[in-house]
Structure 1
């Protein structure tokens, strides 16, 4: 086989080879984290746009204050007869008015964008919350399944342990019965042997008992007591 065809087959086999099996729980957790990261990014973007809107509002207020100040100064200049100064102040006031109007327009555009994005953000938050609840439900189901599996394994192992313990107990009882039977057999064999220790001990007990009775009778005679009492 040519080297080129062999390399082609190897590459194709590697491409078609099954990849590593992923844990479904880990995949769901990663997807949930990715959604939450995107939500945080969207919130920051809306917050930045709201800051721009507020900054535009403040600039418009400053422009309105500037218009009022320049208008008062122009009136004072007219009162002093300074028409040139009044014209310059009025031109500045007109420029401030145009800047204020442009800021109002800009503020309206930003406000519309912020409101639209806030509505979209609310929808994203609802979807992420639904996804989070699904993720928690899936994780709870997995934990429940794992717990049930662990309990079943524990029950199986405890059953096997109980069976082993019962078997061991039966073996111990059987061994005890065998020992008891062996001891009884030894006792029987001991009585059947006239020279055995059990027979000798019994005879010694009888002899000692007779000697003790004779000694008791002699003591009673010395004391003047009827030996039959």
Structure 2
């Protein structure tokens, strides 16, 4: 049975088992994006009235999932979260269970899942093409907003309400509304970077 041509007009390559070079490359990229996630966590702007600072962590999560794909994107973020829980001061210079289960814990737990889901969407949207069309770019942007922003608030805000012993409405003021404009800017930046750079990255799968 012959391979059907993809949307770019070239036949789909047959799936092959990853070789040692691919595995090493995947480990290197996982480590690099884990380091990026850590570095971005130190870029923060405290707002004073809330324990949730403005950071670039969400942007690192979006880029990890979109550029590395589901598998390596997930592990690049999950490793940092696990090491932070073990006590290493990796997120904003803090570590331990008090960090992972602190007021911002609901956002931290969701970060690996967000990278995984964005990676799944990116893997699917870039399959068989090197230059995604407008519809695929729009779908990528929508997946980043859904999985990288909405899902983070889905767990982050209720946990913040619980830790701050306040109402859900008050938690939205403390942990959601002030950050939405910045989050959409991060999603737009991530979409542009992923569209430009993902086709240039060596295949990790």
Q: TM-score, normalised by structure 2?
A: 0.22
Larger radius of gyration: 1
Which structure has more RCO (C-alpha within 8 Å, separation ≥ 6)? 2
More helix by share: 1
Q: TM-score, normalised by structure 1?
A: 0.20
